[in-house]
Amino acid sequence: MEASVTPHRPRTERLFVQRFSSTPRGARLARRLAVHQLHVWGIPYRSDVSDTAALLVAELAANAATHGRVPGRDFELLLGMDAAGPERIGRLRIEVTDTRGECRPPGPGEVVKPPPGSGGGHGLVLVEALADRWAVLERVPGKTVAVELDLLY
């Protein structure tokens, strides 16, 4: 796994952006709409990519709704996909942005596995394990956690 993502969004063939309320319900809706959008783009429900993306969106959206929540402000989900070409593999980019900048999560290589029985804190461990690349990016106000998955066709 590489430690970071492209600091800017690569040129994409497909783009989906939606804001959600910073609540558990908003996080669930983000996951469901992400999986639906991937299906529309040709990544079938219950495929490896769809299931991995669903887990990543669920963790990042839950973190945004829990730790990045600012009353009265939403979080944003961005999906971007570029298809494979003759000289490169395709890429799926997932970004979750919240407006709470002072609560910054650890970045790639900084995530510490929580102790057994802690009951929480495994979200970014999962992100680090599943994403091909990921990073925490500055945003004013707030921050963006961006992950990339390579699409092998």
Residue 1: pLDDT above 60?
no
Tokens of 18: 């939606």
Average of per-residue pLDDT values in the chain:
88
Distance, in Å, from the CA atom of 26 to the CA atom of 105, rounded to the nearest integer, reads 20
10 Å CB burial of residue 56 (0-12, 13-18, 19+) is buried
Residue 88, pLDDT score: 62
Residue 103, pLDDT score: 79
Residue 10: pLDDT above 60?
no
Residue 32: name the closest of 42, 20, 14, 22 by CA: 20
Residue 119: pLDDT above 80?
no
Distance, in Å, from the CA atom of 101 to the CA atom of 91, rounded to the nearest integer, reads 27
Residue 63: pLDDT band with limits 50, 70, 90: very high
Find the range with the poorest average confidence among 10-19, 23-32, 143-152: 10-19
| DSSP classification of residue 142 | S
Instruction: Kindly report, residue by residue over 22-54, the tens digit of the pLDDT.
Output: 999 999 999 999 999 999 999 999 999 999 999
Is residue 23 within 8 Å of residue 153, measured between CB atoms? Answer: no
> The whole model's pTM is what?
0.86
Residue 7: pLDDT above 80?
no
Residue 151, Cβ neighbours under 10 Å: how many? Answer: 16
Instruction: Kindly report, residue by residue over 64-115, the tens digit of the pLDDT.
Output: 999 888 888 899 999 999 876 665 678 999 999 999 888 788 889 888 888 8
The residue ranking higher by pLDDT, 144 or 70, is 144
Residue 65, Cβ neighbours under 10 Å: how many? Answer: 23
Give me the residues paired with residue 74 across strands. Answer: 21
Across 146-152, average pLDDT: 92
Q: Which residues of 8-29 are buried (b: 16+ CB within 10 A; e: fewer)?
A: eeeebeeebeeebbbeeebbeb
